[in-house]
Amino acid sequence: MGQDLRYALRSLRKTPGFTVAAVLTIALGVGANTAIFSLVDAVLLRVLPVQNPKQLVFPTAAGTAGPSGAPPYPCFERLRSGTSSFAGLAAFTGDELRVEIDGNPEQVMGQIASGNYFEVLGVKPAIGRLMTEQDEKLDGPVAVISHSYWQRRFGGDAAVLGKTVSFRKQPFTIIGVTPPEFWGLSPGRPLDLTLPITVERKALSDSGMWWLTIIARLKPGISVDRAQAESNAVFKSFMADSKSRHPAEILAKHFEVVP
């Protein structure tokens, strides 16, 4: 074995071009497989660290081209008030947010979400508390940060509660930190900050703006088919009343409830 190893090393030294190509090929292969496994692990193997994840579904509009995203916020409100299959529905959307902390501008991976977002998911705080529907009133605007952002940006200091984060020149008080295992609902996009959805007041009343994702929890004993049929009726009623001609409406012919 030792002789074979020495012979191999001498041969590789005599052909440096082949050696470099072989090492790079192996490195790329290992890296690609590691990346693929990481994605599969995040998307398929890990169960969401929430309460009863199998009850969670994504209600979404769909058509001949497949799912086209959740409908506008006014339709979300109709679904929330006009369906009985769900224990709760929450709306959210994520993007990079430019905020200020202690007067210093920062770019964070954030989201805005309805006040019941964490309640629907069944997520409990690591410290402090999480948002509720009352926080949508922005009567003392609040923010929730992730555990990883708390550790990375604030050194895990419990004094982070009560600290302010400014977004669009409006201060938001940090009220809680999510548990370390909760990274959000978008694989590959770790979440730093969550703000109340009502910061986008104009968009909430726009029946032609398709910008949300909806997460819902089925009531015990309710099938996906029943929830889909009920949601589809509400969605078609909304589409019939909608006056806008957004491109998404052309693709959206019915409603689906996706596990």
Co-location of 169 and 85 in the same domain: yes
Q: What token pair was written down for 193?
A: 């900050």
User: Cα–Cα distances in Å, from 67 out to 70, 151, 153?
Assistant: 9, 37, 37
Residue 85 falls within a domain, yes or no?
yes
Residue 237 inside a domain? The answer is: no
Cα dihedral: 38, 39, 40, 45 (round 10): 70
pTM for this predicted structure: 0.79
Share of the chain above pLDDT 70, in %: 90
Tell me, yes or no, whether 25 and 116 share the same domain.
no
Instruction: Clarify whether residues 61 and 111 are in a common domain.
Output: yes
For 114-155, write each residue's pLDDT tens digit: 999 999 999 999 999 999 999 999 999 999 999 999 999 999
Residue 213 lies in a domain: no
Checking if the pLDDT of 247 tops 60, the result is no
For residue 78, is it within any domain? Answer: yes
Contact 215, 120 (CB under 8 A): yes
Last residue of a domain, one of 204, 229, 252: 204
DSSP string, 65-111: TEEEE---HHHHHHHHHH-SSEEEEEEEEEEEEEEEETTEEEEEEEE
Cα-based distances in Å from 214 to 43, 208, 227: 18, 16, 14
Q: Does residue 167 sit in the same domain as residue 136?
A: yes
Q: Which of 204, 219, 252 is the last residue of a domain?
A: 204
Mean pLDDT of all residues in 31-48: 68
Same-domain status, 39 and 60: no
pLDDT exceeding 90 applies to what percent of the chain? 58
112 belongs to a structural domain: yes
Would residue 255 count as lying in a domain? Answer: no
In a domain, 136, yes or no: yes
Q: Are residues 9 and 111 in the same domain?
A: no
> Quick check: 97 pLDDT over 60?
yes
More confident residue, 138 or 36: 138
Top pLDDT among 128 and 19 is at 128
* Domains identified in the chain, total number: 2
What range does the domain containing 14 cover? Answer: 2-45
Answer yes or no: do 59 and 187 share one domain.
yes
For residues 159-180, average pLDDT: 96
For residue 46, the model assigns a pLDDT of 62
Of 168, 184, 204, the position where a domain reaches its end is 204
* Total number of residues shown for the chain: 259
For residues 40 and 61, state if they share a domain: no
- Same domain, residue pair 9 and 129: no
Work out the mean pLDDT of the chain and round it to a whole number: 88
Residue 63 lies in a domain: yes
Q: What is the pLDDT of residues 42-68, one digit of tens each?
A: 555 566 778 888 899 999 988 765 666
